[in-house]
Amino acid sequence: MTECDRIRADAPGLASLCPDDPERIAATSHASGCAECARALREAEQLHSMLPAAEPDPLAGAAPGRAYTEIREELRREAWRRLLGSIAVVCASVVVLISFARIRSPSIVDWTLAIVLWATAVGMAAAASKRPLLATASAVVASVLAGVVSGASGSLAPSLGLECLATELASAAVVVGAVWLAIRSGTTSPARSAIAAAAGAGALAGDAALQVTCAAHTEAPHLIAFHVGGVLLAIAGASALWRRRPEQLEAREGARW
């Protein structure tokens, strides 16, 4: 590498040195007889003179703390919207399913058990975000206990069971749909375990309604196969579908670019 090549390549660094630095003095001396090197050093000096003007104004001392507070409050509002939306949909699902049912049990025991299942579903919706595994386990345990308490020996009633299964899955889909609508305009997305817990809460709400509207709600094989099975299927289905969602979003963004 010639002296000219070195000076032109190192011009930005040489321009940043002190005026009395030996390397800068030597480069300046050489440039006095070389127009190309003189131009390279002059352009580098002009660039360095512009850098201070390009520096951003320092942030005020309270700005980072204020930004952190605003972000935290926004995330808290999103969480509350998601929570209240899930609880409201769980309650509405039970009310709608019971209101439009063809039959309703007159038994106080059945209604009491339905209220317990409904309250458990509400608690699950509230805990789905912070305690998803506990909420999911609660849905399964509650549906199994309901089947054990109210069920006796009987038939499977498969034709009626498909209706019960569809009822629980529809209730789960409505709750998950409400969560999805709540996060569309937000900045955060719930974990797959939280979505599975929300689906379990929705399915358990459907189970609560079926406790007083299903004609086979006292037959253990039917309850285990379709009522408990509906809760398990809703949890597994929501978990599997939400697992694919980030991959689809990433693929969509990649196609856009």
Q: Contacts for 42-46 with beta carbons within 8 Å, 24 or more apart?
A: 43/11, 44/11, 44/12, 44/14, 44/15, 45/15
Across 45-73, average pLDDT = 65
Residue of higher predicted confidence among 217 and 74 = 217
Confidence label for 250 from pLDDT (cuts 50, 70 and 90): very low
Q: At what angle do helices 229-256 and 132-150 cross, to 10 degrees?
A: 150
Q: Say what the pTM is.
A: 0.64
Reply yes or no on whether the pLDDT at 4 is more than 70: yes
Q: Are 82 and 179 in contact (CB under 8 A)?
A: yes
Give residue 254's identity as a one-letter amino acid code. G
For residue range 200-229, list pLDDT tens digits in order: 999 999 999 999 999 988 898 999 999 999
Across 146-170, average pLDDT = 88
Reply yes or no on whether the pLDDT at 129 is more than 90: no
